[in-house]
Amino acid sequence: MSKAQILNFIKNPKLILTLILVIFFLKGVFLCTLSPIFTGQDEARHYSSLQYRAEPKDKNWEKIDRPVGSIKSINIADYNFSQEMIHAGEMADYNVFRHQMYNTVNFSDGYNGVNEAEINRQLWKPYNYFKQPDIVGGKNLYYSIAVSLEKILSGSDILVRFFSNRILSTVLGTIGIFLAYLIFKNIGLKEKASLILTAITAFQPKYGMYFANINYDVLLIPLFFIFTLGAILSLRNGFNWKNGSLMLLAIGLGFFTKPTALILLLPFFGLIVYFTYSNYKKKINLKIILLAIIIFIIIAYFSNYNFISILPFKHNLPETFRSLGAYLSESLTMGRFALSSRTYWGSLGWFSNAIDQNFTNFVWTIQTISVVGIILFLFSKKKLDFLPEKKYVVFLVGMIIALQFGIRMADWKVFMGAGELELGTPGRYFLPNLVSHIALVFVGLGYLLQKENRFKNALLVGLIAMLSFSMYLTFNIILPRYYL
């Protein structure tokens, strides 16, 4: 093979994409093994939920009548988890990690970790002995998938089953990265720009960390990406049964994963209105749109879900508006916006340091500049061939607004019942729009920079910054937190 052939092979987009996917997966597996058992975000409760669903249908063992305890409890034995989870958690020092910031893993002198041999002996049943199990109720598509893996590995100890389910999350995250590439490519970005943006997404710290945990959001996020891809393809090729089915599939599967997916109905019907009344109506078949609406109505009917229940309402309209005013005054503050943004970009808040704070400050500055670029882009008649068309940008902005609206509505509804910000808006709630967000940030910068070579340089700087911060969090924050 000649030097030219080798260079062409190395520059092959398929090879580069494959490398990005492989690197993300391997990085994810490393992160899966880095955090001790049950220490991920709400991870113990999610694993309890899938383990409960993996139990035999005939639960012929005696049940203990104990109410579900406080989620703030330090001791894992206070939670209504399975016998196996409680004892394995105690053996693995879960109680030490959960509420004590500076305690690290106890090391043994041998090959196995402290108490690992005891856990491997499988002395405890993976059954929940409480009448009121501490689980997430209702039907859930993610749990159905994870339960299948749990049953396949039923003969293995809890460490094998638990960390295998974490790796399942990484597999779903890898699929999400591939979908991100398809989205970037189909909004009209060139190959190189699409690949760099895909790599930036792959190294977004919170995305990588979240897909190394057990949580039903690891299925919801790729489903959001699938919807986004279906919508982009519709804008590109016209609304047809393939693209419509892709969006409806994402909404349906997303709904059975987490009700947050219902917010996708807003951009979906927005697209239908756009295609019906725009110049693109010649490209579509109105029968397809009618069929899509009928299918949605059928799905909604057979889901037996009370869609009215998602609307916040308190006794009467005056009280509802007073509640809204109180919610907005408490939630729309700079401090809460800053907290959402920091956690969205991966800041863990474990230690206060200059790099952590300055990186998020740098990101806020870039985003503010980018917003100016997006506004100018949308109101300008000038077309830059290395940037997407306006219709794609408008849609991506719509996705951002729709998810913000949905999350705020859910937060307000909880606030209405609790009288305080009990749910909140942590950064991870906004990850379903990560691809849309990253695309918009760099489109805004690209318009301000005006030149394609400057745009490419901005992409490379973004990639280096994201990669550096991701590596910093992994090796300077997470690793020392648990092991040094």
Last residue of a domain, one of 253, 279, 310: 310
Specify whether 63 is located in the same domain as 155.
Answer: yes
CB distance 395 to 235 below 8 Å = yes
Specify whether 44 is located in the same domain as 158.
Answer: yes
Specify whether 163 is located in the same domain as 55.
Answer: yes
3-state secondary structure 401-421: HHHHHHHHHHHHHHHHHHCCC
Phi-psi bin for 218: left (phi > 0), alpha (psi -120 to 50), beta?
alpha
pLDDT tens digits for 16-72? Answer: 999 999 999 999 999 999 999 998 888 999 999 999 999 998 888 888 888 886 666
Least reliable range by pLDDT among 84-98, 242-256, 299-313: 299-313
319 assigned to some structural domain: no
**Confidence check: pLDDT of 181 > 70:** yes
249 assigned to some structural domain: yes
256 assigned to some structural domain: yes
Looking at the DSSP bridge assignments, the partners of residue 278 are: none
Task: Assign 127 to helix, strand or coil.
Answer: coil
Q: How far apart are CA 212 and CA 224, in angstroms?
A: 19
Mean pLDDT, range 141-145, rounded to an integer = 95
Mean pLDDT, range 381-404, rounded to an integer = 93
Mean pLDDT, range 102-126, rounded to an integer = 80
Q: What pLDDT shows up at residue 300?
A: 61
279 assigned to some structural domain: yes
Helical spans, DSSP H, in 54-157: 83-91, 94-99, 116-120, 141-152
* % of the chain with per-residue pLDDT over 70: 82
- 395 band by pLDDT with thresholds 50, 70 and 90: very high
Mean pLDDT, range 424-439, rounded to an integer = 90
Total domains in the fold of the chain? 2
Q: What pLDDT shows up at residue 352?
A: 60
Q: What pLDDT shows up at residue 229?
A: 98
Last residue of a domain, one of 275, 310, 345: 310
The pTM (predicted TM-score) of the whole model is: 0.90
Specify whether 151 is located in the same domain as 85.
Answer: yes
Q: What pLDDT shows up at residue 146?
A: 96
Least reliable range by pLDDT among 174-178, 254-258, 264-268, 424-428: 424-428
Q: What pLDDT shows up at residue 450?
A: 92
Q: Which tokens is 412 given?
A: 């307000």
Q: What pLDDT shows up at residue 361?
A: 82
**Confidence check: pLDDT of 4 > 70:** no
Specify whether 247 is located in the same domain as 159.
Answer: no
Specify whether 234 is located in the same domain as 162.
Answer: no
Mean pLDDT, range 190-211, rounded to an integer = 96
Last residue of a domain, one of 310, 336, 359: 310
Specify whether 44 is located in the same domain as 163.
Answer: yes
Mean pLDDT, range 441-448, rounded to an integer = 96
Least reliable range by pLDDT among 58-62, 86-90, 196-200: 58-62
Q: How far apart are CA 143 and CA 140, in angstroms?
A: 5
101 assigned to some structural domain: yes
- Considering the chain, what is the average pLDDT of its residues? 85
- 241 band by pLDDT with thresholds 50, 70 and 90: confident
- 288 band by pLDDT with thresholds 50, 70 and 90: low
Q: How far apart are CA 137 and CA 287, in angstroms?
A: 38
216 assigned to some structural domain: no
2 assigned to some structural domain: no
- 108 band by pLDDT with thresholds 50, 70 and 90: confident
Mean pLDDT, range 407-435, rounded to an integer = 77
Phi, psi of 408 (to 5 degrees): -65, -35
Domain ranges, residue 292: 225-310
CB distance 55 to 128 below 8 Å = yes
pLDDT tens digits for 341-389? Answer: 788 887 766 666 677 777 888 888 999 999 999 999 999 988 899 999 9
3 assigned to some structural domain: no
CA 199 to chain centroid, in Å, comes to 17
Q: Locate tokens 């940030």: which residue?
A: 441
